[in-house]
Every structure is written in C-alpha cells, then in structure tokens.
Amino acid sequence: MNGEVRDRSDHSYQAVMARRPEIMLRSVGLDYNKFARGKISFDYEGMMRDAAYSLDEIERIQSETNIGNTPLIELKNITEIVRRISPRGKGARILIKDEACNPSGSFKARRASVSVYHAKKLGYKGVISATSGNYGAAVASQAAIRGLKCIVVQEVHDSRGLGQPEIVEKGRACEAYGAEVVQLTVGPELFYVFLRLLEETGYFNASLYTPFGIAGIETLGSELVAQVRERFGKDPDAVCVTHAGGGNVTGTARGLIKTGATRTKVIGVSVDLSGLHMASDRDFNRKSFTTGHTGFGIPFATWPDRADVPRNAARPLRYMDRYVTVTQGEVFYVTEMLAQIEGLERGPAGNTSLAGAIAIARDMDRDQILVVQETEYTGAGKHPTAQLTFARENGVEVRRGDPRENVPGKAIVIPEHPSQVTVKDFDLTETRNSLIRNTVNNTGVKEVAPEDVRFLAEETRETEAFVVDGLTRLGVTIRG
C-alpha cells in the first residue's frame, strides 16, 4: 500500500475496489506480499505452512466443535449393481464418506472450523462469508458455537426476484444458525457488497480460499485413508471428489499426501453446465446445480486467483490425476438410487462425485477400492423434485432417456438404467495450457525468470519443458 491511506468514506464501486488490498489485509490478518517471489510465482507451500495449522492441531480444533470422525459407509447394493453391468472381474468396491454427519451437514464444516477458530484467536468479533452454498451454513454454525457474529452474503435471485430452491434452502440454513443473510441478485455487486461489509464491520474474512479454509479439509483426506487402512489393510485406489472452486480437491489431496497415500488417484468430478454463463441473469435459474459444476470447476482450475483473496490456497491442477464430467440427469438419477437402494437420502453435491464413481468403478478391478469422499445434508429445496419442478417452470425440458441428450439450460435427461451413467473425460493437458495462458494474460508478463517456470510446472503438474514451450508460444521470454 506504500503508506497511502485511502478515503474510506468514498463508497463508490471504483473506490471500494481500489481499497481491496488494504481491506483484505485487515480482514484476513495475512500479508500475502511476503510470499511473492518472481513476476508470477509465490511460495505456495510457505504460505500454507506459515498461515495454517498442523493436522494434529486441526483435529483438536475440529473435535472441540464435533467435526470429523464421520462414518465411511460401504455401498454394498450399489457396488453389486455396478458389478452386474461391468465386464467380468471388474466393478470396484464403492465407499462413501458421510460428511452429512458434521454439525452443518457437509464437509464445509471442516473448512469453516479453522477460519472461525482463527478469527476468535485473533480477537475478531465476527466473521463474513460470501457464498450461496453449504459453506455459509458451515461458517454460521461454527460462529454460533464459538460465540462470534456472522454475516453471509448470498447471491440468490435473478432480476425477477426468483431464487433456486437449493439456494433458498441454504439461506434458510444460514439464518437458522443465527447468521444475518444479505441476499443479492446475480451480478458483480456480490464482491462489492462483501468488501463494504468487511470494511464497515471489521469482521474476519472467512473466505473459502484462505490457507485456513483449505487446511481444514486436509483432515477429510487423512481420515478416510485411516479408515480404509483399518478396514481393508490398504490405501484406497482412487478418491472421487466433487470439483467446483478447487478447495475440496486441494484439501482432500493434501490430506492424502500427508498420510502417505501418494498412490491414491484423485479424480475431480463436475456437472457439465457448458454453455451457461454463471453471471448471466437469464442463465442463473436455468442451471439446476449451485456448486460442483463446470461453471466453477473449469475457471478455478485454469485461473485459481480469480478468488476473493490475493492468492488462492485452492490450486486443483496441482493435485488432480483425472477430471471428468457428468450430466445433470445422471446426478438426479444417482441421488434417487442412493436413497432407494442404500437408504441414504443426501443432497446433490456429493452425489455428483458418486455419479462419476459409479461409471469409473466399472473399469476398475473388483479388488480395488473407490471412495466418494463426501455427502451433504438434504432438505426440501435440495430435493430432486423441487429442483426439477423449478427447471420446468424456467422452460427446461425434463424427461427420461439417454443422458447424452442432456443440453444445459434446455433439457435434463434422466437415465432409464444404471448402465447409462457414464463420464466424459476433460482434457487436462489443455486445461494446463489454459492455466499458463491465463497467467500470462492476467499478469501481462513479457519476460519471466526460471523460478516462474518452476512455479508453473508445480501449478500444472507438468515438466519445465512443457511450461517453457507454452510460454514461448505466447511470446514470453525466459530470462537466465
């Protein structure tokens, strides 16, 4: 900030955005500048070590508020169905980590726990979160337990004043835990209002993307490994993770690594909402999923620092071994399957990765173990009936048939048989090239140092030669 003190009485959009760095510094208590290295690189692991807590400390923090130690449930009936439709000898054992057992009903309780604990430790009187999802409820729940005030800024309505049933349900949950919920229409005002509230209240920024939030998820990865080892005497062969902003993938994978499960494959799964713009007033209510979809998954994978903090601790391309998509209809179908075959009624976010797992397990050996690492609570607004009724009311066709005929925003096609549940692989090589391209475009660099090349190699999980080739094609010179 160079010692400059800006006029906080100017609440124009431009003035508030100009004050963003100082607002963030005061509200997170973390100086991101200390981790800067080259023109584009920063010390990611140093940031995580300096700002976060150890696994043992996080387990203690979470145990204080009854988070974690959630059941690992073998889906015996679904596994049997998968084996019936798989080639001989195929059909991995599918297990699910029942994160709906956390206080706020999702794995986001882990994510919120460390942020809220840290806010209280530093003496903040309250916390603020900008989210229309389960994270807001998690922050509100943890704030209630820790005795802090809570504000949730939620993008809810289109210009007609209509909100998706799932988003409305999540807002209700936030209010039930005592939070003040500020509901907005879709558009750029969300971040502006968020910044103003941080500045006016002096509350802690319980962002999804700080090191505190990501570190809280690491216990999910370490826990599921310990449970699989205890029951089966080996590590899981693969873990399916619903992918949106990248925190779920990043935190879970880091937990796997810290527990020594380095051979476990991390598979990101998103709902295919290609063609829909998440900030479009018209498209906002034509999508039937508020998280775990490509509208978040792809942008955050290819440019993580689009987040509400200077450096995003969620860096999914560092950790994903595979990235697949499923259709809306397949997730609704699997949601009903889980309820009616396994007796577990759970919300849609975790069932996104379950849909992917059902397809992926068919190509894995029978003695292999595939873990779906989360479930979420369900409620009236999250139920498929509410979501599909709302879709019809917004002009989206809903029918049974071949899910490959699904068209986001136009048609939701629900499978007629489990064999129709498939996945489509997303090209990770192109995704890595996109990250390099977005880094260059967003920073405007024309020349980089070797440390920047090394950083991008870590970001993309590729060789330095791959990065140099990508930068050269973009006209960037490598110094030294």
pLDDT in tens, 127-160: 999 987 899 999 999 999 999 999 999 989 888 9
pLDDT of residue 3: 45
Tell me the average pLDDT across 337-366. Answer: 97
Q: Record the tokens describing residue 137, joined without a space.
A: 């409820």
Indicate if the pLDDT at residue 40 is higher than 70: yes
Q: Is 195 helix (H, G, I), strand (E, B) or coil?
A: helix
pLDDT in tens, 467-480: 999 999 999 999 97
Q: How far apart are CA 434 and CA 432, in angstroms?
A: 5
Asked if 166 contacts 382 with a C-beta cutoff of 8 angstroms, the reply is yes
pLDDT of residue 280: 85
pLDDT in tens, 194-238: 999 999 999 999 999 999 999 999 999 999 999 999 999 999 999
Q: Is 243 helix (H, G, I), strand (E, B) or coil?
A: coil
pLDDT in tens, 268-300: 999 999 998 877 888 888 888 888 999 999 999
Q: Which residues contact 304 (CB under 8 A, 6 or more apart)?
A: 246, 312, 314, 315, 316
Indicate if the pLDDT at residue 330 is higher than 90: yes
Cα Dmax for the chain = 70
pTM of the predicted structure, to 2 decimals:
0.95
Asked if 340 contacts 274 with a C-beta cutoff of 8 angstroms, the reply is no
H or E segment at 299? Answer: helix 294-302
pLDDT of residue 480: 75
The residues pairing with 163 across neighbouring beta strands, listed in sequence order, are: 157
Indicate if the pLDDT at residue 1 is higher than 80: no
Q: Roughly what angle, to the nearest 10 degrees, separates helices 211-232 and 44-51?
A: 90
Q: Where are any strands of DSSP class E within 307-422?
A: 322-326, 369-372, 397-400, 411-414
pLDDT in tens, 370-383: 999 999 999 888 99
Q: How far apart are CA 190 and CA 279, in angstroms?
A: 11
pLDDT of residue 6: 59
Indicate if the pLDDT at residue 253 is higher than 60: yes
